[in-house]
Each structure stands twice: as C-alpha cells, then as structure tokens.
Chain A
Amino acid sequence: MIAIIDYGAGNIFSVKNALDFLGVENKLTKDKEEIINADGIILPGVGAYPWAMKMLNESGLVDTIKEQSHKKPFLGICLGMQLLFEKGFEFEECDGLGLIKGEVRYMDEPDLIIPHMGWNELEFNMECPLTQGLSDNTYVYFVHSYKAVCDSENVVAYSTYGGKVPALVSDGKTVFGAQFHPEKSGDAGLTILKNFAQLCKEGK
C-alpha cells in the first residue's frame, strides 16, 4: 500500500485517482502507523511553502516523514517536491524537510511568463528507476512559480524555462521529487507513477 499524506493541501484526489486507475493500492492518510506500515509514501502538495510546512508541523508528521523517507520509496510532488529541500523563500524564509540539499527560489527572470504553466520537455541528466520506459521527448505538466536550486548530482531530469529547472530530483537512494504533476501528465506521468509503485513493491 502506498500512503498519500493528507495534510490538508490541495487536490490530493488526483494522485489517488491516478493510482486507482493503475490498480495500485493506496490510501489518503495522516495516521503515523499507516505511514510507517506503507510500502511507499507520496507527499502531494499545492499551495504556499510556509503554509504547507505549518500544516505538516501541526499534523505532527514531520519526524515520521523524515525517518520513513530513508526506509522506503518516497515521492514528493510539486510543492511536495519543493518541501524536500532545506529551505523555501515563498513569502518568507522557511525551513523545509531537508531531505535533499538545496533551496527553493522564485523563478526571477525578466520577460518570463509566471507561473511556469503547461507541458514542458524532460531533459534527462541521469538514469533513474522512475524514468524507465520514457522516450527522449517526454512532455510533462508543470504549474509553479518557484524552483529548486540544487546540485546537478541530485537532478534526474531538467526542463528549460528561462534557465534550467530541476524537474525530477532524487537523493540517489529512496527520496524522489517531481516538480511537475505526474498525475496530470497523461501517459508519461502514469508511467512514472507505475515505476514508483513497482519500486515500492520491490522494496517490500
């Protein structure tokens, strides 16, 4: 079972719909035991960085998330991906979960339409179990105004918008983050989720 962490953020049903469609057992939960017993964890998220961290802190799940993220496959999506880093700067400086080294900064480039909204191409930087079976020109759906600033060794794939935007990141072990929405990225997104579910199954 994959635990989708329900901490009051955004449209978490889309992630659930996509896993249901793939026939992957999953559960929306904020229960510590369920998260501990799950084969994998997804941290979704739509909204603002400080607000989401506050909700996570209030849910009392931060320590559980940090601990469990090293024990089983863990996927942060969109804001959930941004929270994996050490710090965010949306409205105010705010500590993240610190699972991957780096910060999240406003995409401040002149003449750039913000938010970065729509389908953009993945440019692969390294191999990763989540990208198995994706073709070279794979488009995925993005909606965001802030981007990760991190070492290239943590970037599985970039997209180009203004500059290079980390699209899929990883700690090289169990932690993954997608800046785009795999649950809204058509067949390509479903492939990524299927790969993640497979990883969860193997780790069982």
Chain B
Amino acid sequence: MLAKRIIPCLDVRDGKVVKGVNFQGIKEVGDPVACAYEYNKQGADEIVFYDITASHEGRGVMLDVVRETAKKVFVPLTVGGGITTVDDIRETLRAGADKVSVNSQAVKNPQLIKDGADIFGSQCICVGIDAKKIADKKWTVFINGGRIDMQIDLIDWVKKIEQLGAGEICLNSIDTDGVRGGFDLEMLKSVVDAVKIPVIASGGAGKLEHFAEAFLKTDCSAALAASLFHFKELTVGEVKDDCRSKGILIR
C-alpha cells in the first residue's frame, strides 16, 4: 500500500538555507546541499527547496544547489519559488529536480500549469496554494507570500488546476502557518474531497502529533514542514516513528 509522505522544506536564499520570521530577521541556517543530505539520512520521503531569492543571479545559484544535491540524494526533489515560464520549468528539471512547484505565477497565468503538464507531464507540476478563511467553509487564494487576496474561491481554484493538469497540490494555510497549532484540517479536508490528485498539507505543524493527526483526520497524501526540522526540534525519523506507532503506513 502507498505510504504517507513526510516532506521537509528548505527555504533557500542566494544559495543558503534561511528561515525568516515574518519576513524580518532572516536567519541563515546552513548549506542546502548538506541539509538535504541530512534529511535524506533521516528518512525524508521527498525534499522541497523553496527559492526565496528575488534576483536572476540567485536563480542560477539555486540550480547549482539542485545539481549538487541530485548527485548524492536519491529521493524526489521539488523546487519552488521564482518559476514563471516553461523555460524555467525545463531548466529546473534539467538541473535534477523531479517536480516544480508553482504558486503566485500559476494564479496570474494558469496556462503555465497546462503548458508545463503538456510538455513535461502532470507528475512534475505541483501547484502551491496559500489560502485563508473568509467565512464558514470558505477560503480564498492569496499570492505573493500571502500578501495579496486574489478573491478566488479555493475550491473553484483547486478544481481548475486539476483540470489544467496539475499533478499535485501543496496546500498552505495562512491562518495556521507559523502558529504551530497543527495543520488546517478543515481546509485540508475540503480540498482533498474536491480533487482526485494528491494533496500535501503545509503550514502549522508545531509538534510531533500534528503530522499523525493530519493523516488520521484527512486523506492528505503528505505533510510538509520547514522550521520544525530546520531548528532540529524534531527529526523526520521521530515524526515517522510517531505516525507508525499510530498505525499510519509510513516507509
């Protein structure tokens, strides 16, 4: 049977892993290739690099990071951030990524999802979404790191991206992100029920039990976290052991 995935995410700026606190006081926490290698050893099922570099030069550095990682880490690698064109997707995949994650750009230009899926296959197009609750069982899609409300209904959006050929959704809740009180189970459940493609839970993991909780209470396929793993509060191995002990199928 298919195992649930635990995915550590590395935020990378100018080739260094960073962790931002509300976009201020960004701390450098290390070399992304070394971090990815360490996560791989801990049993990570996939590794996500999220490029928060704005500059064009930064992109080249990011691709070098992917290239180096792909030489010694043999689990799937996803790269998100700054991907705006089909050429960006091609370059990123050629550097050794298995998937790209598109977020704001997909909202501004949904055709990017379709073009990417048609050329490279749905399996490598993950659509990242930042969403926030606006009313009971109603959420809207935000872009630019959660700053701009696009006033697009979340459920309409996920159905649309599935139709366009997205292979996976990485769903981040603005309401729970950084709060560390657990994943946004209500939103997660609504999205999982609306589509047939796999959904990754993101935003809100603050302790060990939160991962198992997401798998036991929703049919999400994977759970992602960044700072918990960065700051070594938890290892991927500990999270997997906890899930396993609760009867969840884990590699």
Q: Are A and B interaction partners? A: yes
Set of chain A residues within 8 Å of B51, measured between Cβ atoms: none
Set of chain B residues within 8 Å of A117, measured between Cβ atoms: 123, 167-168, 198, 221
Set of chain A residues within 8 Å of B96, measured between Cβ atoms: 11, 13-14, 17
Set of chain B residues within 8 Å of A10, measured between Cβ atoms: 93, 120-121
Closest to A47 in B: B121
Set of chain A residues within 8 Å of B180, measured between Cβ atoms: none
Asked whether, in the complex, the Cβ of B98 is within 8 Å of the Cβ of A11, the reply is: yes
A115 interface neighbour in B74, B167, B251, Cβ under 8 Å: B167
Set of chain A residues within 8 Å of B148, measured between Cβ atoms: none
Asked whether, in the complex, the Cβ of B71 is within 8 Å of the Cβ of A119, the reply is: no
Question: A160 contacts the other chain (Cβ, under 8 Å)?
Answer: yes
Question: A114 contacts the other chain (Cβ, under 8 Å)?
Answer: yes
In Å, the complex CA distance between A114 and B76 comes to 18
In Å, the complex CA distance between A187 and B75 comes to 9
Asked whether, in the complex, the Cβ of B120 is within 8 Å of the Cβ of A46, the reply is: yes
Asked whether, in the complex, the Cβ of A48 is within 8 Å of the Cβ of B98, the reply is: no
Q: Among residues 140 to 184 in chain A, which have CB atoms less than 8 Å away from a CB atom of chain B?
A: 141-145, 160-161, 181, 183-184
Question: B197 contacts the other chain (Cβ, under 8 Å)?
Answer: yes
Interface string of B123-156 (1 = CB under 8 A from A): 1100000000000000000000000000000000
Asked whether, in the complex, the Cβ of A119 is within 8 Å of the Cβ of B123, the reply is: no
Set of chain B residues within 8 Å of A145, measured between Cβ atoms: 122-123
Question: A95 contacts the other chain (Cβ, under 8 Å)?
Answer: no
Asked whether, in the complex, the Cβ of A46 is within 8 Å of the Cβ of B198, the reply is: no
Question: B21 contacts the other chain (Cβ, under 8 Å)?
Answer: no
In Å, the complex CA distance between A183 and B3 comes to 18
Q: Among residues 220 to 251 in chain B, which have CB atoms less than 8 Å away from a CB atom of chain A?
A: 221-222, 251
CB distance from B100 to the nearest CB of A (A): 11
CB distance from B197 to the nearest CB of A (A): 7
Closest to B45 in A: A119
Closest to B5 in A: A118
Set of chain A residues within 8 Å of B4, measured between Cβ atoms: 118
CB distance from A55 to the nearest CB of B (A): 13
A189 interface neighbour in B74, B122, B168, B221, Cβ under 8 Å: B74
A118 interface neighbour in B120, B122, B198, Cβ under 8 Å: B198
In Å, the complex CA distance between A20 and B198 comes to 32
Set of chain B residues within 8 Å of A187, measured between Cβ atoms: 74
Asked whether, in the complex, the Cβ of B71 is within 8 Å of the Cβ of A120, the reply is: no
A13-B96, A113-B221, A139-B251 known; A21+B123 contact, CB < 8 A = no
Question: B108 contacts the other chain (Cβ, under 8 Å)?
Answer: no
In Å, the complex CA distance between A10 and B123 comes to 11
Asked whether, in the complex, the Cβ of A17 is within 8 Å of the Cβ of B1, the reply is: no
Question: A190 contacts the other chain (Cβ, under 8 Å)?
Answer: yes
Q: Among residues 55 to 113 in chain B, which have CB atoms less than 8 Å away from a CB atom of chain A?
A: 70-72, 74-76, 93-94, 96-98
Looking at A112, A116, A118, A190, which has the most chain B CB atoms within 10 Å of its CB?
A118
Can you list 5 residue pairs at the A/B interface with Cβ under 8 Å? Answer: A11-B93, A13-B94, A18-B74, A116-B2, A183-B74
Instruction: Return the 9 tightest CB-CB contacts between A and B, nearest first.
Output: A139-B251, A143-B123, A119-B251, A119-B3, A120-B2, A47-B121, A184-B76, A117-B198, A17-B71
Question: Which A positions have Cβ atoms within 8 angstroms of B?
Answer: 10-11, 13-14, 17-18, 20-21, 46-48, 112-121, 139, 141-145, 160-161, 181, 183-187, 189-190
19 additional contacts, CB 8 Å, given A118-B221, A119-B251? A13-B96, A17-B70, A21-B71, A46-B121, A113-B219, A114-B196, A117-B221, A118-B2, A118-B3, A118-B198, A119-B3, A121-B3, A141-B75, A143-B76, A143-B98, A184-B74, A186-B75, A187-B74, A189-B74
